[in-house]
Amino acid sequence: MKQPGEIELVEDARLGPMAVGGLVGFRTLLYKEVLRFWKVSFQTVAAPVLTAVLYLLIFGHVLEDRVKVYDQISYTAFLVPGLVMMSVLQNAFANSSSSLIQSKITGNLVFVLLPPLSHWEMFGAYVLASVIRGLTVGLGVLLVTAWFANLHFANIGWIVVFALLGAGILGTLGLIAGIWAEKFDQLAAFQNFLIMPATFLSGVFYSIHSLPAFWQAVSHANPFFYMIDGFRYGFFGVSDVSPLFSLAVVGSAFVVLAALALRLLKSGYKLRH
């Protein structure tokens, strides 16, 4: 004869892991992913901040008096938001992609797959940890580089929205890359031939209005351009395209990539084999 506690457990089990454990699995995986990059913060946070500062010192010193982007905005001030957003994007991608590929190669991915984690919980933990790392590095870059330029904050809301969406998109893209890649070489190719070109050709160091018509058209096909342009609008109140249009493009990109990542996680593609 079953005890009352056993009957209650069986009934709860029918509702799935969310009913039994709540969000314990999600919180645990999120904690593990955040702790993973924070314990080596000198490498994962301080090093990217230093890299961005070097970009600012070199490009700002060389092009300050030679490049005029917007009226009454110095080139160095124009450059700072671009470097901040570039750091957010690159580090958000690095967090989720490196975590998955390392788990695959070392064989400890099984410890993530064995617990009753839903694909929603896995997606949320990996992407949210990537957002946290991206925003942490971006804030560090902003605090350090702000000393070199007279920055304005025309609309903080736009800054926050595009920073969150940009980090979310790259965290999701990193998750997809980590699922697809089976070795570090494949992940490096994904980053070197897709992420890096898209980032550097997105208007971080220049306004696309200074480009020939063909390259302007190419830039408008790059979702990274809309992330950085909308983010920069939050500082200066001016941009190359409407921030509402940028928001529509960036938001749509996030929905599409999130749907793809969730489908891959649910099917166990290249994870359960």
C-alpha triplet 134, 140, 143: angle, nearest 5°: 140
Tally of domains in the chain: 1
Q: What confidence tier does 273 reach under pLDDT thresholds 50, 70, 90? A: low
Pair 121, 23: CB distance under 8 Å: yes
Q: Is residue 13 part of a domain?
A: no
Q: Is residue 16 part of a domain?
A: no
Q: Is residue 18 part of a domain?
A: no
Q: What is the pLDDT of residues 101-126, one digit of tens each?
A: 999 999 889 999 888 899 999 999 99
Q: Is residue 161 part of a domain?
A: yes
Q: Which domain, by its residues, includes 243?
A: 23-267
* 3-class secondary structure per residue, 183-231: CHHHHHHHHHHHHHHHHHCCCCCCCHHHCCHHHHHHHHCCHHHHHHHHH
Half-sphere exposure of 104 (CA within 13 A, CB side): 23
Q: Is residue 15 part of a domain?
A: no
Q: Is residue 273 part of a domain?
A: no
Q: What is the pLDDT of residues 43-99, one digit of tens each?
A: 999 999 999 999 998 888 777 766 667 777 888 889 999 999 999 999 999 999 999
Q: Is residue 186 part of a domain?
A: yes
